């Protein structure tokens, strides 16, 4: 997808109602108070060589940078933070969704407050055999 298509997806999710129960959507997963959009990436590397892996990761990073720049043009500089403290908290307490999933799949999040909703952008990591996945979250659930 292109940056324009990513922006369209985020805009659509910002105006969409949230479902009563968690389930798959056409772009990812939605649940009470959140939409999580899988925008690109996350393919299994299998037997690909190192050069193919690097190219795949570079592609996701480039898409991330382009989308982040466009979002900052709209809403200003993002609040960037690492999720290590959330991971530690998740060991002793139940974190609300979507933040439990976010902290389990990334190390850093860019976050904007847009009207009554939060928009988060990050690269999800599903394991060493998968490329990173460009991911966005739209939620009314405050970050813990």
Per-residue model confidence as pLDDT tens digits over 21-51: 999 999 999 999 999 999 976 555 555 566 6
Q: In the chain, where are the structural domains located?
A: 3-139
Q: Which of 28, 108, 4 is nearest to 16 (CA)?
A: 28
Task: Please state the φ and ψ torsions of residue 2, each to the nearest 5 degrees.
Answer: -95, 170
pLDDT tens-digit profile of 90-100?
888 889 999 99
Percent of the chain with pLDDT over 90: 61
pTM of the model: 0.88
Q: Could you tell me which residues come within 8 angstroms of residue 63 by beta carbon, excluding any fewer than 6 positions away?
A: 3, 6, 39, 40, 41, 134
Q: Confidence class of residue 14 from pLDDT cuts 50, 70 and 90?
A: very high
């Amino acid at each position: 997808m292109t940056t324009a298509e990513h922006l369209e997806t985020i805009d659509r999710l910002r105006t969409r109602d949230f479902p009563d129960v968690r389930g798959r959507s056409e772009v990812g997963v939605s649940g009470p108070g959140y939409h999580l959009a899988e925008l690109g990436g996350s393919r299994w590397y299998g037997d690909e060589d190192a050069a193919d892996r690097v190219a795949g990761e570079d592609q996701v990073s480039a898409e991330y940078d382009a989308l982040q720049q466009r979002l900052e043009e709209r809403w200003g500089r993002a609040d960037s933070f690492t999720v290590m403290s959330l991971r530690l908290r998740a060991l002793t307490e139940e974190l609300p969704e979507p933040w439990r999933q976010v902290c389990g799949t990334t190390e850093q999040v860019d976050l904007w407050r847009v009207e009554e909703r939060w928009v988060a952008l990050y690269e999800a990591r599903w394991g060493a055999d998968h490329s990173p996945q460009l991911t966005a979250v739209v939620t009314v659930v405050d970050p813990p």
